[in-house]
Amino acid sequence: MKRLFSTIHFGLSIVIMIGLIVEFFFAGMGVFHAANFQLHQITGVLLLASSLLVLIFALIGRTGRKTIGWSALLFVLLFIQPLLLQIHQPFVQALHLVNGLAIVATCACLIRHRAVKV
Protein backbone atom coordinates (compact mmCIF):
# COMPACT_ATOMS: atom_id res chain seq x y z
CA MET A 1 0.00 0.00 0.00
CA LYS A 2 2.87 2.33 0.85
CA ARG A 3 4.33 1.85 -2.63
CA LEU A 4 0.97 2.58 -4.27
CA PHE A 5 0.60 5.89 -2.40
CA SER A 6 4.20 6.77 -3.20
CA THR A 7 3.59 6.10 -6.91
CA ILE A 8 0.40 8.19 -6.87
CA HIS A 9 2.35 10.96 -5.13
CA PHE A 10 4.99 10.95 -7.88
CA GLY A 11 2.43 10.86 -10.71
CA LEU A 12 0.37 13.66 -9.21
CA SER A 13 3.53 15.75 -8.78
CA ILE A 14 4.16 15.44 -12.52
CA VAL A 15 0.54 16.39 -13.26
CA ILE A 16 0.97 19.48 -11.08
CA MET A 17 4.10 20.48 -13.02
CA ILE A 18 2.17 20.23 -16.27
CA GLY A 19 -0.63 22.25 -14.66
CA LEU A 20 1.88 24.92 -13.64
CA ILE A 21 3.03 25.32 -17.23
CA VAL A 22 -0.60 25.67 -18.31
CA GLU A 23 -1.12 28.15 -15.46
CA PHE A 24 1.65 30.40 -16.81
CA PHE A 25 0.08 30.19 -20.27
CA PHE A 26 -3.32 31.24 -18.88
CA ALA A 27 -1.68 34.13 -17.02
CA GLY A 28 -0.07 35.23 -20.27
CA MET A 29 -3.44 35.07 -22.00
CA GLY A 30 -4.82 37.39 -19.36
CA VAL A 31 -1.89 39.80 -19.53
CA PHE A 32 -2.08 40.04 -23.32
CA HIS A 33 -5.89 40.29 -23.35
CA ALA A 34 -6.46 37.04 -25.21
CA ALA A 35 -8.79 36.03 -22.36
CA ASN A 36 -9.67 37.14 -18.86
CA PHE A 37 -7.94 35.74 -15.78
CA GLN A 38 -10.77 33.32 -14.94
CA LEU A 39 -8.97 30.28 -16.40
CA HIS A 40 -5.85 31.27 -14.46
CA GLN A 41 -7.85 31.52 -11.23
CA ILE A 42 -9.65 28.20 -11.73
CA THR A 43 -6.41 26.41 -12.56
CA GLY A 44 -4.82 27.91 -9.45
CA VAL A 45 -7.57 26.49 -7.25
CA LEU A 46 -7.16 23.07 -8.86
CA LEU A 47 -3.41 23.20 -8.33
CA LEU A 48 -3.89 24.11 -4.67
CA ALA A 49 -6.26 21.17 -4.16
CA SER A 50 -3.86 18.86 -6.00
CA SER A 51 -0.95 20.01 -3.85
CA LEU A 52 -2.95 19.14 -0.74
CA LEU A 53 -3.45 15.64 -2.17
CA VAL A 54 0.30 15.42 -2.88
CA LEU A 55 1.02 16.27 0.75
CA ILE A 56 -1.53 13.73 1.99
CA PHE A 57 -0.10 10.99 -0.26
CA ALA A 58 3.43 11.86 0.88
CA LEU A 59 2.36 11.44 4.50
CA ILE A 60 0.30 8.27 3.94
CA GLY A 61 2.96 6.78 1.69
CA ARG A 62 5.66 7.58 4.26
CA THR A 63 7.86 8.88 1.46
CA GLY A 64 10.55 10.29 3.77
CA ARG A 65 11.30 13.60 5.44
CA LYS A 66 12.65 15.38 2.36
CA THR A 67 9.75 14.38 0.14
CA ILE A 68 7.24 15.34 2.80
CA GLY A 69 9.07 18.63 3.27
CA TRP A 70 9.05 19.44 -0.46
CA SER A 71 5.37 18.47 -0.62
CA ALA A 72 4.51 20.69 2.36
CA LEU A 73 6.46 23.61 0.89
CA LEU A 74 4.63 23.21 -2.42
CA PHE A 75 1.29 23.34 -0.62
CA VAL A 76 2.27 26.39 1.46
CA LEU A 77 3.53 28.31 -1.57
CA LEU A 78 0.36 27.53 -3.52
CA PHE A 79 -1.74 28.50 -0.49
CA ILE A 80 -0.18 31.95 -0.16
CA GLN A 81 -0.17 32.60 -3.92
CA PRO A 82 -3.68 34.13 -4.14
CA LEU A 83 -3.23 35.88 -0.79
CA LEU A 84 -0.42 37.97 -2.26
CA LEU A 85 -2.94 39.61 -4.58
CA GLN A 86 -5.29 40.45 -1.70
CA ILE A 87 -2.78 42.89 -0.21
CA HIS A 88 -3.22 46.07 -2.21
CA GLN A 89 0.44 47.06 -2.30
CA PRO A 90 2.14 46.80 -5.72
CA PHE A 91 5.38 45.53 -4.18
CA VAL A 92 3.56 42.67 -2.42
CA GLN A 93 1.40 41.91 -5.46
CA ALA A 94 4.55 41.68 -7.61
CA LEU A 95 5.66 38.83 -5.33
CA HIS A 96 2.83 36.81 -6.91
CA LEU A 97 5.10 36.36 -9.95
CA VAL A 98 8.20 35.54 -7.91
CA ASN A 99 6.23 33.07 -5.81
CA GLY A 100 4.98 31.46 -9.03
CA LEU A 101 8.56 30.79 -10.02
CA ALA A 102 9.28 29.41 -6.54
CA ILE A 103 6.30 27.07 -6.94
CA VAL A 104 7.66 25.73 -10.24
CA ALA A 105 11.15 25.30 -8.74
CA THR A 106 9.75 23.52 -5.69
CA CYS A 107 7.70 21.16 -7.82
CA ALA A 108 10.75 20.46 -10.01
CA CYS A 109 12.85 19.68 -6.93
CA LEU A 110 10.11 17.41 -5.60
CA ILE A 111 9.91 15.50 -8.89
CA ARG A 112 13.69 15.26 -9.20
CA HIS A 113 14.04 14.04 -5.61
CA ARG A 114 11.35 11.41 -6.15
CA ALA A 115 12.75 10.34 -9.54
CA VAL A 116 16.17 9.73 -8.01
CA LYS A 117 14.58 7.85 -5.10
CA VAL A 118 12.33 5.64 -7.26
Domain boundaries, the chain: 2-117
User: pLDDT per position in the chain (118 positions), as tens?
Assistant: 889 999 999 999 999 999 999 999 999 999 999 999 999 999 999 999 999 999 999 999 999 999 999 999 999 999 999 999 999 999 999 999 999 999 999 999 999 988 776 5
Contacts 24+ apart (CB under 8 A), 80-86: 81/44, 81/48, 82/41, 82/44
Question: Minimal CA–CA distance to 77: which of 98, 102, 52?
Answer: 102
So what's the pLDDT on residue 1? 86
pTM of the full structure: 0.94
pLDDT computed for residue 118 by the predictor: 56
